[in-house]
Each structure stands twice: as C-alpha cells, then as structure tokens.
Amino acid sequence: MPTVNLSHPVDLLIRQALVFDGSLSEPHIKDVAVHQGRIVALEDAFQGQAKQTIAAKGLALMPGIIDSHTHFDAQITWDSYVRPSPAMGVTTAVIGNCGFTIAPCRPQDRELTMRNLTQVEGMSLDVLKQGIDWSFETFPEYMAMLKQKGSAVNIAAYVGHSSVRTWVMGEQANKRQATPEEIDAMAVLVREAMAAGAVGFASSTSPAHNGEGGFPMPSRLASDEEMMQLTMAMGSFGRGVYMVTKGGQMPMSFLQSLSQKSGRPVMVAALLHNSTNPQAVFNDMAAIAQANAQGIPLIAQVSCCPLTMDFTFASAYPVEGLVSWRPAMGLSHAALKACLADTAFRQSVKDELAQTATFRLFNNEWDKVHVVQTTLPEHQAYEQKSVAELAHALHQDPLDVALDLALKEDLQTVFTAQLLNSDTEAVGRLLNDPHSLVSLSDAGAHLTFFNDAGFGLHLLGHWARDLGLMSMTQAVHKLTQQPAQVLGLKDRGLLRVGYAADLLLFDPQTIGRGPKQRVFDLPGGASRLNTAAFGVQGVWVNGQMVANQHGLILEGELSGELLTEFV
C-alpha cells in the first residue's frame, strides 16, 4: 500500500458518502481517500488534502461490481473498454465462462472457433472476422496479449474446455469422446493455463449449447473421466474454480465428487426459474445446500434479470436446444426455409414442447413471445402482439403462426421471448439463497439479442430499493465481497484501507438500468443492444475514473489489471 503523508495531497477524496463497504455491515457516512490506486483512508472526517475532491452528500459509495459471468474473450481483443460494462458499474469482469474461449487456438482452428461462437453465443461472424486480434495461439500467449493491450476494467480469465478440446482433437472435438492419451494432453494444457494465471477451468454440458452445423459444443462430448481429470489438473495448483453450465443429464452428485477430489469450488450455471417446471431449480439449490453442509463448496450462478431475448428464425437460439430442432441446425437459407415449412418437422417440435422438461430455454409459453418488428407493411399490425394472441385470433397453432410469419418475411421478422426467471417470488428466493451468486450477465455475447450487462444496477434498484426483497447492504454484498471470495480475488470486493480503489458512486434513489437500445459500434459498423445506466455518478478502477453520469470515459490510461494471482 502506498505510504500516506498527510502533508501531501492524496489523489482522490470522496467526502461524506454513505459507504456500503461490501460486507454485511450497516452503511455509515464516511470520507474515502484514494492514493496511487489504493484506498488509504476510510474516516469520519479526513484531515488531509486531495488533488480532487468529490462532495458525495446524498450519494452512496460501494466497491465496484464484480461480473463473474461474461463472454468478452473475443471483444476484448478489439475493445479494451469492454463496452458497456464499465458504465454499468462493473470494475472486474471474468471471461471464459462455459468454456467458450478463443485460447488456446491453432491457426487452422480459428475459422471453426469463430463459427462455433457465431452459433452458441449469437455473435456475428463478420464482426468476429474483422475484430479478433489473433496474435496468439496458446493460452499463455493470449494472457500476455491481454496484459499488453490493457483494459478499462480488471480481467480474470478461465481456460475453456471447448478450446482445450479443439486444440488436442481438432475437428473431432465436437464429434466423439477423447482417448486417454488425448485427455492427458488436455490436462497438460489446463496446467499450463493455470500456471499462466487462469482463474479456473470452465466447461458446459448444456444441450442449449451448440456450435456450427448444430454439432454440440466440444465440451458436451466429454466423458465423466475427462471432466474429472481436467478439474483435478486445475486443482493441482491448490487454487482455481471449476465453472460449468450444467445440462440436465449432469447430476449434482457428480459435481460434488469433482469438488471433493479436486479440492476446489464448483460454480454451477445457469440456475434459472422455469415457470412450467417451478420446482426443478429449487431441487438443484437444495442439493447445493446439502453439499455445502458437508463441507463441499458448490455455488449457484443465478440471475436477477428475466431472461428475455430478441431473435429471428434465421438464428432461433431459444429453441436450438430442442432435440426436434436439430434437423434445422446448420442449414443454409433456402434449405432452412424448407425445413421450417415441413409439416413433420413442425409436429415433432410441437410434440417435444408439449412435454415437461427439467431445463430448457423455451417452454411453449407463446404468450411470452411477441412480434417486435415486421418487414412487410401488411404485417405491421402484428407488432407488439404476442404469438399466443395472434394464434387465438387466427385459430391456428402458435408455432405455425410464428413460422408462417417468419417464412413470409424471408426469416427477417424479429421476435422477443421472455424465456425464464419471470416469477418475482421465485427469483427472489434464488437471489436470497446463501449459496447463490448473482451473475449471468453474458456481457460480450448475444450482442444483437439481449443485454444484461447492467444486472448489478438492476439488483440494486429493482430488487433492493423498489421491491425491498433484500436490503441494499445485502445487494451490495452479493455483487462485491461474495464473488471476490468465491473467485479468490485479492484485495478486492470490500472498501478497506489497503484494498484496490475499485469504486461505484451512485444515487440510491435513482440507481437502475434503462430500456434497451440499438447502437452501431461493433467492427464494420455492426449493431448491438445497449442499455443506459441510471443513477451512476462515478466508476473508478484502481483509482482512475472510467465512467461518470454521462457514461464511459474514453480518455486517459487504461487502469484495469489482468488478474493472475488468487487466494
């Protein structure tokens, strides 16, 4: 920590803020002094001088938000500001979730990696081709590149299972199980990544995660033995988190065994509430609670946002996890239209949707699917109406109505679907669970479909202030100290003397996120969804302001650190 000489001014003094320090302690009015990127005083009335003083009476100060579930792996290579997260109060972002990384990657596998991301994470292939800086192959080289480029926020990176599998198995990675020799080769890569400072090892077994041509993402082909060996390779360093987006076929008992044998925490995503099978997520939460009671650290990634997604049937992510949708996966435009028009295909989809599932994105709730934008004048009257409403008026099945409309408009009709997490009482239970981590922003992915990068502002404003389903103190803790502890972040997540000055100054009366809007700032001028930040007065990363009430500050040095040491 820098030595403080009160005869010389500190860099920044925030006076008389209501300080939520990240712990579960009650807030107090304090002066907070910052020097050389660290908090050097937290006092009732600081007596020293400051180069910059902010009068914060009526405002609240908290540690910066830690976003533990982002997909900035590609974007950060062309956008060191990782838009829009800094303006949303995020000061630390964890990349590589679900194992959908771009490192390690051999030159001959770059095209496949990008095409997989186009499918599984709703990313534009043109944007990826124009934007990604491929000046790396191995994971250590990728980390070295990130350190050289710098970033506006602190970054921690998982090594990704699908990338590790592709490096070892090439085009076979998403088609078969690995041999013992291939598993050994993957374990070497995981250990190499951990030595280079990875925060852990991330994977996915979710049936919703498909790559190019409808093939499963590589990690979904992994045997239990492969999962075990790679998690143990991570754990051999005595640190790291195993993060997995769990499919229904992956039992909690197996995740407990991974934690026990590796000696490391297991972070389970994505535990979202399904209104058509409301008890399923609470069964998982009960299993997680039981594991923790036995000293086995499991934690659930949950969301404070309803999972709402824009889509077209040219890339219908909400239904791509259905087994019956597989014949449509990977088809070109004309062939896809022929498939969607096929009566037998439609009937198989209807039959599957009629069945109750443990977990899937879309659950036949057509009243929660709305037409957003049509292309033909004769269909404008359909906009803002639900597919269920249209189906009732037309006396047709809702799937037929949606597909017929899409086909008439050359698959350009834009729909929006509220998929999961729409029950306020149920989501409140998940958020308040002691073994849940508020997360799942997916920032950096699904750029044209949805934007939950402001999840932390939504937790503070909607859930804490407006609904009162948790205190502001609890909400701050969920966004700061708790993820810092789970991830093993050093000197972050709390406002303490000696800790990094990652700060969010906000108005507790107005904090929140605004409506989504489309901006055109991706490579090639491509669009993404953005959202405004309400009530944010200032965001500092390691003592440097990166955003204010007007948004992102695009000047000054990039103050974020690449985090490679964990406790």
Same domain, 292 and 326: no
Residue 448's pLDDT is 66
Question: Does some domain include residue 565?
Answer: no
Other Cβ atoms closer than 10 A to 395: 7
Q: Cα–Cα distance between 76 and 132 in angstroms, integer?
A: 8
Q: What pairing do the DSSP bridges indicate for beta strands 28-35 and 38-43?
A: antiparallel
Query: 82 is in which domain, residue-wise?
Result: 65-306+421-489+497-552
Same domain, 365 and 432: no
Question: Domain containing 42 — which CATH number?
Answer: 2.30.40.10
| Alpha helix stretches (DSSP H) within 322-449 | 333-341, 343-353, 387-394, 398-408, 424-432
Same domain, 129 and 259: yes
- Residue 276, classed as helix, strand or coil, is coil
Residue 206's pLDDT is 92
Residues of the chain with pLDDT below 50 are: none
Question: Does some domain include residue 557?
Answer: no
Same domain, 54 and 70: no
Give the domain-ending residue among 417, 435, 454.
417
Nearest to 320 by CA among 72, 103, 116, 71: 116
Q: Cα–Cα distance between 57 and 18 in angstroms, integer?
A: 8
Question: Does some domain include residue 563?
Answer: no
Nearest to 118 by CA among 36, 185, 213, 44: 213
Peptide bond into 270 cis (omega under 30): yes
Question: Domain containing 483 — which CATH number?
Answer: 3.20.20.140
Q: How many structural domains is the chain composed of?
A: 3
Where b means 16+ CB within 10 Å and e means fewer, 77-92 reads bebbbbbbbbbbbbbb
**Structure tokens, 458:** 């939504």
Residue 249's pLDDT is 84
Q: Give Cα separations from 162 to 172, 307, 363, 439 (angstroms).
A: 11, 24, 27, 22
What would you report as the CA-atom Rg of the chain, rounded to the nearest whole angstrom? 23
Same domain, 299 and 348: no
